[in-house]
Amino acid sequence: MSRLALIVLALLLPLTARAETCPPPPDHTETFDGLFEEVQAAPDAGAAQQVVNRMWALWADAPDARAQEILDRGMRRRSAYDFLGAMQDFDRLIAYCPDYAEGYNQRGFVSFIRQDYPAALIDLDRVIALSPRHTGALTGRALTLMALGRTAEARADLLVALALNPWLPERRFLDQLTPGPEETDL
């Protein structure tokens, strides 16, 4: 290989590596601040749902076009009950964008649907670490913990989610989530 070819290759390698790097997720913090105020002030569940739809649009706002394409395809596959295909897409999204919470959230949701609760918890914990106010992940984690019989933890997560959005449909489970005697020391 000629010296010029080596120089060109050396210059192109960083560009190739950079092309494979996911940019940081969009920062919607200020918009979320306003949306949480709106949902807490909503007069009824219908009005709250309109606000929640705007939240989901932000959570599903991927860092770049490639990530958005993978997320959207995975969500379409999940909706079509192609859970294996959806998992492959969400695995791909997480490998490409490890700091983007929604990839973990969607993969956790598929794990929950498949009743793989330990896998769902791992992903939902990661979502909450990346996006502590992600009410979808908080309620998903609460439902997962309920399925595992860990009612005290489920109740705690649900209460956090309801403090953010008192209109969540999962609020109907709160009465079922009283800690049993074996959980009072948790």
Residue 149 has φ and ψ, to the nearest 5°, of: 80, 15
The CA dihedral of 53, 62, 132, 183, to the nearest 10 degrees, is 80
41 domain residue, yes or no = yes
Q: Which CATH number characterizes residue 144's domain?
A: 1.25.40.10
- Mean pLDDT, rounded, of the chain: 90
| Spatial distance between the Cα atoms of 4 and 148, rounded to a whole number of angstroms | 62
Tens digit of pLDDT for each residue in 149-160? 999 999 999 999
Tens digit of pLDDT for each residue in 32-43? 999 999 999 999
Residue 47 has φ and ψ, to the nearest 5°, of: -65, -40
Domain limits for position 164: 28-175
23 domain residue, yes or no = no
Tens digit of pLDDT for each residue in 51-82? 999 999 999 999 999 999 999 999 999 999 99
Confidence of residue 16 (pLDDT cuts 50, 70, 90): very low
The number of distinct structural domains making up the chain is: 1
Amino acid at 49: Q
133 domain residue, yes or no = yes
125 domain residue, yes or no = yes
Q: pTM above 0.75?
A: yes
Q: How far is residue 50 from each of residues 54, 97, 171, measured CA to CA in Å?
A: 7, 28, 18
